[in-house]
Amino acid sequence: MKQSSNVSVGEALAIHGGEPVRKTLLPYGRQSISEQDIEAVAEVLRSDWLTTGPKVAEFEEAFAAFAGARFAVSFNSGTSALHGAAFAAGLAPGDEAITTPMTFCATSNCVLYQGARPVFADVSSDTLNLDPEQIKSKISSLTKAILPVDYAGHPADLDAILKIAEQHGLTVIEDASHALGGEYQGRRVGQISHMTTFSLHPVKHLTTGEGGMVTTDRADFAETLRRFRSHGISSDARARQSAGQWQYEMVLLGMNYRLPDVNCALGLSQMQGLTENLARRRAIAASYAEQFAGVQGLILPAVRADVNPAWHLYPVRVDAGQLTAGRAEMFRALRAENIGVNVHYIPVHLHPYYRERFGYKGGEYPVAESAYEGLLSLPMFHAMTDEDVEDVVRAVGKVVKYYAAGFHRT
């Protein structure tokens, strides 16, 4: 293909020796910690309680109020929150739970932790969320739960999924690790499904260092979750101390998944900026959508009319049919420009463990697998400046222009 005259020599790609757009790497995600956050943590470090103290309940109450749920139960990671929800739902050996392959492996692993079998269903081509029609085709007499994922912060088709669950007597565990603050048909994520799990990892909207949360409106689920996270014991140490009692009872086989007081203090402080953080992410997404509209070779993330995404990720898809480079080459080129793109996700069933245990060969979930071949997550975090956003736009434009113009070096 001939070299286009509208690509200047000065815009040579960094991967080929040109000047990178940025001097330092802009990561795809990053935590933001304020002096107020640091002081909140320091205050707990000076107190009598580093774990299972008063900040746990305060944080859970604030989180439940934000999500619009009756209960919020904290865990020490998003993974342990998922495990707790799978336990509370009663998943056991011989059961099946339907979930998406377009997720981090923790979503389906929590089913395995309970001795049950994860059954994947393909995703919708626009949002890359679980396709309700595909769920229907996977239901069997063994199915006990459905685990949709709010991919990239765009809520799944929750009403359709809950309707299916009601028809078959199933529990819906919504993995909203990406979607804190997201809205579906005017309702905030966390108050819709039977249980909703969140991740509080540093790259998320709010962080506790590591941490997770489960929201629910059911008191029985909340009680089981609290017991499961603390060895199956029916009371906590602070409550026993307050009552002047020593006796405790283990009533179920649980884990040590508690989120310490010091982490909860950080989360409670961070909640004060959550609304502002969500607004900033939405502004960045709007800027990307406006500036990348119509760019050859890029498929932008879809937003359905009835949702307001939380934008944990901004995943674009490389349309290799319009470029002379595929996703791998685009990834390397953008990294060389110091734009820290990433890939979310390798479909779970394609990981060696799942291939070997369940016999997946590839090709079972064509929509998810095809999407994966082109996915690139652009930087998206609320501390990004306007200049950071412009660097991403310039770098993507530079790289796309190069490969759209027909350049290709071997």
Active site residues: 204
Q: Which residues are CB-contacts of 260 (< 8 A; sequence separation ≥ 6)?
A: 50, 51, 52, 76
Distance CA 308, CA 311 (A): 9
Distance in angstroms (rounded) separating the CA atoms of residues 337 and 169: 51
Question: Angle at CA 359, nearest 5°, toward 355 and 360?
Answer: 60
Q: Cα(391)–Cα(403) distance, rounded to whole angstroms?
A: 18
CA–CA distance, 173 with 239 (Å, rounded to integer): 29
Q: Residue 277 CB: number of other CB atoms within 10 A? A: 21
Coil, strand or helix at 215: strand
Nearest alpha-carbon partner for 212 in 110, 313, 315: 110
Q: What is the DSSP string of 95-129?
A: -EEEE-SSS-THHHHHHHHTT-EEEE--B-TTT-S
CA distances from 279 to 39, 200, 372 (A): 25, 18, 28
Residue type present at position 238 = R
Tell me if 304 sits within 8 A of 126, measured CB to CB: yes
Q: Which of 221, 105, 120 is nearest to 173 (CA)?
A: 221
Q: How far is CA 382 from CA 197, 305, 385, 386, in A?
A: 21, 24, 8, 11
Residue among 210, 223, 217 nearest 67 (CA): 217
Beta strands 307-308; 183-184: pairing state: antiparallel
Are 99 and 149 in contact by the 8 Å Cβ rule? The answer is yes
CA 59 – CA 269 distance, rounded (Å): 9
Query: Please, what's the largest Cα pairwise distance for the chain?
Result: 83
